[in-house]
């Protein structure tokens, strides 16, 4: 849902848990860009579902920067930022916010479905760069493992918001009975129904099959009724990335922290 922000542009209305999520993501962007600057030919940040670039917290009315603007605001700059947005309304708002930012010329915006334009995305990530991809889908539709797998053709770490309770648990019975391909088939493969593990574990195992180590954040992102919404996952082939993640998630964004 979009509302108008103070700058007159569309913003995404979010719950307080989204502010907590972005706090963790912003921390990692900061430690990543600071710790890895100069160790690679360059650093690239990739956003597959960036939204309009600004959020309004429903419970408080506070305005906060979305993840693309957090990436633009790190102390040590990313060399490139690539954002793929399918919604023209969000794309236009993000485009205008990026254009107004002092580092806006480092951003490449792509209008389209990330799964359909992944070749274009990869063309923007130099092979000798270290990339950080943030994947924050609103549900499962459009979140396809083939696209994640293509990103691993570059040196890519991932932060993934896995919508176990927001989308999967609500739709599981319908998808279990479906005779057609479902969003979970595209994310977990056609045999997901035969596995006893929760879908979040199946996704983690698929990432591990690509040579990644996968960590949860240890933070419970819940709504005001205490209902857990999603899992925040980090995946890296590097022990340095894993250590960075553990450092920034050791401190909770607020009082909602409980163990993963």
Phi, psi of 111 (to 5 degrees): -90, 120
User: What is the rounded CA–CA span in Å between residue 71 and residue 83?
Assistant: 11
Is the Cβ–Cβ distance between 184 and 192 less than 8 Å?
Answer: yes
Q: What is the SS3 assignment for 67? A: helix
Using the predicted structure, report yes or no on whether residue 21 has a pLDDT greater than 60.
yes
Note the pTM of the prediction, 2 decimals.
0.93
Is the Cβ–Cβ distance between 56 and 63 less than 8 Å?
Answer: yes
Q: How far is CA 63 from its chain centroid?
A: 19
The tokens describing 126, both together, are 């130099």
**Cβ of 133: how many Cβ atoms within 10 Å?**
23
pLDDT one-digit tens code per residue, 66-77: 999 999 999 999
Distances (CA, A) of 40 to 81, 108, 156, 167, 222: 16, 20, 12, 37, 37
pLDDT one-digit tens code per residue, 175-230: 999 999 999 999 999 999 999 999 999 999 999 999 999 999 877 676 666 666 78
């Amino acid at each position: 849902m979009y509302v108008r922000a103070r700058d007159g542009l569309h913003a995404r209305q979010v719950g307080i848990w989204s502010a907590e999520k972005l706090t963790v993501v912003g921390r990692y962007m900061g430690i990543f860009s600071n710790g890895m600057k100069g160790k690679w030919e360059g650093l690239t940040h990739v956003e597959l579902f960036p939204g309009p670039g600004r959020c309004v917290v429903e419970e408080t009315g506070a305005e906060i920067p979305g993840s693309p603007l957090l990436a633009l605001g790190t102390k040590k700059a990313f060399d490139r930022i690539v954002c793929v947005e399918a919604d023209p309304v969000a794309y236009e708002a993000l485009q205008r916010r990026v254009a107004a930012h002092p580092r806006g010329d480092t951003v490449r915006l792509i209008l389209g479905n990330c799964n359909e334009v992944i070749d274009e995305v990869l063309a923007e990530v130099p092979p000798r760069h270290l990339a950080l991809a943030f994947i924050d889908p609103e549900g499962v539709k459009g979140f396809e493992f083939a696209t994640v797998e293509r990103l691993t053709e570059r040196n890519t770490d991932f932060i993934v918001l896995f919508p176990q309770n927001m989308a999967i648990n609500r739709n599981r019975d319908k998808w279990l009975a479906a005779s057609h391909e479902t969003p979970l088939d595209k994310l977990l493969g056609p045999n997901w129904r035969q596995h006893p593990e929760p879908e979040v574990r199946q996704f983690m195992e698929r990432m591990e099959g690509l040579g990644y180590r996968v960590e949860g954040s240890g933070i419970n992102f819940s709504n005001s009724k205490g209902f857990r919404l999603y899992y925040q996952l980090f995946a890296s082939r590097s022990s340095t990335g894993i250590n960075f993640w553990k450092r920034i998630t050791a401190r909770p964004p607020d009082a909602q922290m409980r163990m993963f």
